[in-house]
Amino acid sequence: MPEGVALARDLVGPAMEAAIARLTPAVHAVAAYHFGFADAAGNPIRSGSGKALRPALALLSARAAGAPPDRGVTAAVAVELVHNWSLLHDDIMDNDTERRHRPTAWTVFGVGPAILAGDALLALAQDLLLEDDTLKGAWASRCLSAAVLRLIDGQGEDLAFEKRDDVTLAECLDMAGNKTAALMACACSIGAVHLGAPPTLAMALAGFGAHVGLAFQLTDDLLGIWGAPEVTGKPVRADLRARKKSLPVVAALNSGQPEAAELGALLTSPEALTEGDLVRAANLIVAAGGKDWAEAEADAQLAKANESLASIDLASDVRAELTAIAEFITARTW
Amino acid sequence: MPEGVALARDLVGPAMEAAIARLTPAVHAVAAYHFGFADAAGNPIRSGSGKALRPALALLSARAAGAPPDRGVTAAVAVELVHNWSLLHDDIMDNDTERRHRPTAWTVFGVGPAILAGDALLALAQDLLLEDDTLKGAWASRCLSAAVLRLIDGQGEDLAFEKRDDVTLAECLDMAGNKTAALMACACSIGAVHLGAPPTLAMALAGFGAHVGLAFQLTDDLLGIWGAPEVTGKPVRADLRARKKSLPVVAALNSGQPEAAELGALLTSPEALTEGDLVRAANLIVAAGGKDWAEAEADAQLAKANESLASIDLASDVRAELTAIAEFITARTW
């Protein structure tokens, strides 16, 4: 694990707990459970609250602007609150029953309380940033609200794609740009924006984050098909079983290769997919070039991310840590 | 209908449509349906989009700061977006299947898309205010985020109260202050805040809105028991049938009068309530003083609202219109 991630857990974790402590008890209980600060009965526990990648990036973003990492804590908390708003609500929308090896909040507290807790995290994120009643607070807040709107667009596109059989690769990349990359771009720039850094710095950091975000999504999609269960925490080929139109799948379907038709027929078949079907589908994606394309595209995005960083002056340790996190979250460990 | 409300519909309606037009098609479809701009298939219609009370108050708030009403449009749109975020999500939480004489959005599009559309309205409200990248935009945005957090607290308290039989009148009033009055206070002050009006003016307008909001909730609760179906759009005694712990009910239960015990037993009885039970419950509330208390408290809140207005210099037409809206929304027409 990159060192910036461990620092983020130490610095941002307590600030996260303090932030959600502002919520009324019934709402706080759901949020504290979701973050792994408490069990379903409200007893304090220490469960994994996720990887703290976005907080780590936000702290580095403040350091990129020449400030010590603690000046990025509010921005880091805001980004992590927004990320968890999206998880709480997406788990309901996607009918997901498990997250971070625990039952999802809506399965424990009900759909209504989980909706409300998600709303609370989103509202709290904005309120925390606006508490700094200077223009810098407003800039950070706008940086976040723009990312939130793109994330919602991406989730809306994702829901709409599920009902379509003709999704293009361009549409799919655009969706990933909204759903995943926009918040990553925000995480990489909001610390600097909140400190009033020059636009060239903030833009380059956002560009870095956007490309890393796409590389991350491509990697996540590859792992969803070929990742080992020990690495992904999910059964092998889980995304194929769920018939998810992930990027390698859509690349294969749109490849013009002979395997595309059989793959399309398999994934839209009304019958349950057998293990044999899943292996066959994965092989068809490879044969149609979907896996190669996704690997090459992930590498290309990572290269663009590093080009974006190369365009700005940065302390060498900050540059190294940003690069280390980018490599960490795009590692293809099968 | 007060003249400020008609003006708000003309000025704010088109701005609302333009605001939600920014959303991606799948999300826009749900929002446009919810607002009555489109039917479920996306065809344009003109259905009632609600009473536009909060937008009317926001425009008056801008006028109170000496500006023409169109300077309050962004603030009015933001408040109305937030109000409708809460309606979209509350309808899911409360399992409500009808709103404004149409099926609720979640029953038409599904829970997931309705959650996402609500999220979009909340995020859009903040983004619109922050688009004005001056400190005034940030003040208006904070005014809204603080109200949103109180609204969430109120909804959380409301959900928690449903599981308790010992809710006090003070808790219930506090909940109404959060769930209803906070956004009304925001509506009455945000136009002025957005124009950089002096704090004394903004505070007095917010105080007016908070008291009107409580008077409105008390009135709504009275109408939920004694209102005529033609006025409320709901069956008579609908709130009793739903065993809602509304303010007159909680006042009666906590009255110390001999009728309280029978009323409590009726409302917690495991059996379905007959029409006779509902009539009996309404009579018990009257006998225990719950109706008188709610009427007196609504009148007292309205008087406090007017005192708050009396403390500031206002153009006479603005004062008259604020008072007219306050009276309109607290009229007890049985």
Bridge partner residues of A102 (DSSP):
A99
Which has the minimum average pLDDT: A47-56, A275-284, B36-45, B144-153?
A: A47-56
Residues 66-125, chain B, touching A (beta carbon < 8 A): 85, 89, 92-94, 111-113, 115-116, 118-120, 122-124
Residue A47: pLDDT over 90: no
Q: Report pLDDT digits (tens) over A93-104.
A: 999 999 988 999
Report the run of H or E that residue B103 belongs to, with start and end: strand B102-103
Predicted local distance difference test score (pLDDT) of residue A49? 66
pTM of the model: 0.96
**CA-to-CA distance for B202 and B191, rounded, in angstroms?**
9
In which residue are the tokens 């009055």 written?
A: B181
Q: Do B76 and B54 contact (CB within 8 A), yes or no?
A: yes
Predicted local distance difference test score (pLDDT) of residue B49? 66
- Cα–Cα nearest to A308, from A171, A215, A173, A179: A215
Supply the mean pLDDT for chain A. 95
In which residue are the tokens 């019934």 written?
A: A26
* Dihedral sign computed on CA atoms, order B22, B26, B32, B34: negative
- Cα–Cα nearest to A2, from A249, A329, A333, A247: A329
**CA-to-CA distance for A111 and A89, rounded, in angstroms?**
9
Of B26, B92, B145, which is closest to A126 when you measure between CB atoms?
B145
Q: Report pLDDT digits (tens) over B232-257.
A: 878 889 899 999 999 999 999 999 99
**CA-to-CA distance for A315 and A303, rounded, in angstroms?**
20
Q: Report pLDDT digits (tens) over A84-93.
A: 999 999 999 9
Of A26, A124, A135, which is closest to B156 when you measure between CB atoms?
A26
Average pLDDT over residues A283-287: 98
Of B111, B122, B131, which is closest to A122 when you measure between CB atoms?
B122
Predicted local distance difference test score (pLDDT) of residue A194? 98
Sequence-distant (6+) residues with CB within 8 A of B39 are: B33, B45
Structure tokens at A145: 């609200």
A135/B142 Cβ within 8 A: no
Q: Could you say which residues of chain B have pLDDT below 50?
A: none
- Most confident region among A94-108, A158-172, A201-215, B93-107 by mean pLDDT: A201-215
DSSP B244: -
Closest residue in chain A to residue B134, using alpha carbons only: A135
Residue B132 near chain A (CB below 8 Å): no
A130/B24 Cβ within 8 A: no
Please state the separation of Cα B128 from the chain's center in Å: 21
Q: Do A45 and A37 contact (CB within 8 A), yes or no?
A: yes
Residue A285: pLDDT over 90: yes
Q: Do B33 and B108 contact (CB within 8 A), yes or no?
A: yes
Residue A174 near chain B (CB below 8 Å): no
Q: Could you tell me whether strands A98-99 and B98-99 are parallel, antiparallel, or unpaired per DSSP bridges?
A: unpaired
Predicted local distance difference test score (pLDDT) of residue A254? 97
Closest residue in chain A to residue B85, using alpha carbons only: A119
Please state the separation of Cα A118 from the chain's center in Å: 16
Predicted local distance difference test score (pLDDT) of residue B275? 95
Residue B41 near chain A (CB below 8 Å): no
Domains of chain B (ranges; CATH) run 3-329 (1.10.600.10)
Structure tokens at B288: 């225990």
The residue ranges of DSSP E strands in chain A, in sequence order, are 98-99, 102-103
Predicted local distance difference test score (pLDDT) of residue B4? 83
Q: What is the ipTM of this complex?
A: 0.96
